[in-house]
A and B are shown apart, each in its own frame.
Chain A
Amino acid sequence: MFEAIAFYLFAFLTIVMFFITVTTSQALYALSALAAGMIFISAFFFILGADFLGAVQIIVYTGAVMALYAFGMMFFDSTREVKEKQGNKYIIVGLSTLAAILVVVIFSAPMVSDKIVALYPAIDGVGNTQEVGLVLFTKYLVPFEVAAIMLLVAMVAGIVLAGKKMDLSITLMSDSEIEEQKNKKVLS
């Protein structure tokens, strides 16, 4: 009973938040709504018994990814209203709904059958975090390490791409120096 109430409440909240994210014309509203939606999604993970996944969702998505987006938005002009593509709205909505239903049917059709056998069945008497650790560090050790290397490469790429000319500090310069730099087209 409580599970049903929680499910419908959080489903409603998540759908509303993500709807705001894709429809609002203010980038800041979209960011806040997306962060709220991420936290509501972690509630589903807690309902489903995937405690560790829920904690990771909150830490990584609302902690790291949203903070990264917030810092990224400081580089852009986020107060300006966002212009939308001109096109037939009904065709877009119809096509995307159709595509989404197709995708889920394709991927859930084998799941509905009873032929699925649990590859790594849940162990009795251990918490979810311990189970995740046991499976992640035995069966999925190589993908785990590869994911670590991928994150390292992404970090280096982010620093190299965004960190160009960051040795120039505008706060430490005088006004004349800033003008000089602007004329040299270095800061642009």
Chain B
Amino acid sequence: MEIGLNHYLVLSTILFAIGLVGVMRRKNLLLLFFATEILLNAVNIAFAAISHYYGDLTGQMFAFFVIAIAASEVAVGLGLLIVWYKRHSSIDLDALTTMKG
């Protein structure tokens, strides 16, 4: 019952798959953001596990930078989302296809 690196990598894969399912099936932009947060967290687990099992701190450093990027992404993304909602009173992805591509 020894928990090894592969256990954490498999868990990270499962969480990443859940996040990808969320990204593909969500139409509401706010819930799409939630799914991207899940993706970032799954990667963070893998970083921390590799950092622990190889005795190297680089993984933790990258996890910190991923957290910083996630925080700034949320700030800018929510700002844009609020502006869009004020204009169109809808945050559905389908309403964004104004270019008819």
Contact = CB atoms under 8 A, between A and B. Distances in A.
Chain A: number of interface residues, binned into ranges? 35 or more
B99 interface: no
Contacts of B7: 7
Chain B: number of interface residues, binned into ranges? 35 or more
A188 B11 CA distance: 45
Contact of A157 (B5, B25, B76): B76
Interface in A117-142: 118-122, 131-132, 135-136, 140
30 contacts: A14-B15, A15-B14, A15-B15, A21-B35, A22-B26, A27-B30, A37-B41, A38-B37, A44-B11, A44-B45, A48-B49, A50-B60, A52-B60, A61-B70, A65-B37, A76-B91, A82-B31, A84-B25, A84-B26, A85-B93, A96-B20, A97-B20, A99-B20, A101-B13, A104-B9, A104-B12, A107-B46, A147-B65, A150-B69, A154-B73
Given A65-B74, A76-B30, 14 more contacts: A21-B22, A37-B38, A44-B45, A44-B48, A45-B48, A72-B78, A82-B31, A97-B20, A101-B17, A103-B16, A157-B76, A158-B76, A158-B78, A161-B80
